[in-house]
């Protein structure tokens, strides 16, 4: 049965490859990116290659939370039912460390933007009979500094990236509790996959990008995972596919999760 699927950050890397695979399977796919020309090109490429005409584009710069909120308004209006949301957009290396509001761009793109957009379109996701949210975490997870989160202090790119991914995982676990009818899974799709982000950051890769694509397709579509909400899938474990494993201990600490979400809420003024 055809599903309606949004994949953020899907103009390159495993996001784009996942969009192609889902289009080939006949699903309605929304490709997202920050550059309208690139989004249009990818939409056209997928339509031509897969002969699936139900491919659409969404444009927003995820380092700009106002743009994210505007996109959410558009989605609420234009896509009444969303079966699967894959929060794939992520950034590690960046020329500009802070966005226009003085927040670290890694923290914004990797955590705050998916938080803002997902919460804004939850009602549309709930219209699905079997809704799923797949949040792309990482093997890199580090305790979240409130000062870094609110832009008061800066940390190294490695540390800030790891903090943003733990924040995303903590929020994922909380969202799973809050919304029992939605399957919410955090996933490390694989460390150092052959993608633009890994190659730019480290100049090397360990595994093919397809390893990450395969697990995203699996988590998004397979009935095997319908009862695994609120878990963390580590695709570095096992071969060719990983398994559910413990995330960072902070992801299970109720007081730390509560504090993170309180700070996030104040920061976003909601």
* Domains identified in the chain, total number: 1
Q: What is the mean pLDDT of residues 151-166?
A: 95
C-alpha to C-alpha distance for 23 and 41, rounded to whole angstroms: 15
229 — pLDDT class (breaks 50, 70, 90): very high
Mean pLDDT of 11-31: 96
**Model confidence pLDDT, tens digit, residues 60-112:** 999 999 999 999 999 999 999 999 999 999 998 778 889 999 999 999 999 99
DSSP designation for 223: G
Q: How far apart, in Å, are the Cα atoms of 254 and each of 96, 164, 171, 197?
A: 33, 18, 11, 32
Structural domain boundaries enclosing 35: 4-268
Residue with tokens 């490390």: 188
Lowest mean pLDDT among 22-36, 61-75, 76-90, 230-244: 230-244
pTM, to two decimals = 0.93
With b meaning 16 or more CB within 10 Å and e meaning fewer, what string describes 142-156?
bebeeebbbbeeebe
Q: Which residues pair with 134 in a beta bridge?
A: 86, 185
Question: CATH number for the domain including 207?
Answer: 3.40.50.720
Helix (H) or strand (E) holding 135: strand 132-136
Q: What is the pLDDT of residue 93?
A: 78
Which of 10-14, 41-45, 116-120 has the lowest average pLDDT? 10-14
Q: What is the rounded distance in angstroms from the CA atom of residue 160 to the CA atom of residue 175? A: 22
Q: How far apart are CA 215 and CA 76, in angstroms?
A: 28
161-177: average pLDDT: 98
Say how far apart CA 9 and CA 28 lie, in whole Å. 16
What does the alpha-carbon distance between residue 151 and residue 257 come to, in Å, rounded to a whole number?
19
What is the rounded CA–CA span in Å between residue 49 and residue 57? 16
Give me the pLDDT at residue 6, please: 98
Cβ-proximal residues to 170 (8 Å cutoff; 6+ apart), any chain = 144, 250, 251, 256, 257, 260
Residue 191 banded pLDDT, cuts 50, 70, 90:
low
């Amino acid at each position: 049965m055809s599903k309606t699927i949004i994949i953020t950050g899907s103009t390159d890397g495993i996001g784009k490859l996942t969009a192609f695979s889902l289009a080939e399977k006949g699903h309605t796919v929304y490709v997202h990116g920050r550059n309208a020309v690139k989004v249009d090109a990818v939409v056209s490429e997928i339509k031509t290659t897969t002969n699936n005409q139900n491919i659409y584009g969404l444009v927003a710069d995820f380092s700009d939370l106002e743009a994210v909120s505007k996109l959410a308004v558009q989605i609420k209006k234009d896509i009444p039912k969303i079966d699967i949301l894959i929060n794939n957009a992520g950034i590690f290396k960046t020329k500009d460390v802070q966005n226009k509001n003085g927040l670290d761009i890694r923290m914004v793109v990797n955590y705050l933007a998916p938080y803002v957009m997902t919460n804004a379109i939850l009602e549309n996701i709930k219209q699905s009979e079997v809704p799923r949210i797949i949040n792309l975490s990482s093997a890199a997870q580090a305790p979240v500094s409130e000062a870094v989160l609110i832009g008061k202090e800066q940390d190294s790119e490695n540390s800030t990236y790891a903090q943003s991914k733990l924040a995303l995982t903590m929020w994922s676990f909380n969202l799973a509790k809050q919304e029992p009818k939605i399957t919410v899974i955090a996933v490390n799709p694989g460390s150092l996959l052959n993608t633009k982000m890994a190659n730019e950051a480290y100049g090397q890769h360990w595994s093919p990008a397809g390893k990450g694509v395969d697990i995203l397709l699996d988590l998004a579509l397979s009935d095997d995972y319908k009862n695994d909400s609120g878990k963390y899938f580590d695709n570095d474990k096992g071969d060719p596919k990983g398994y559910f494993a413990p995330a960072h201990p902070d992801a299970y600490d109720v007081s730390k999760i509560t504090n993170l979400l309180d700070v996030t809420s104040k920061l976003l003024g909601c």
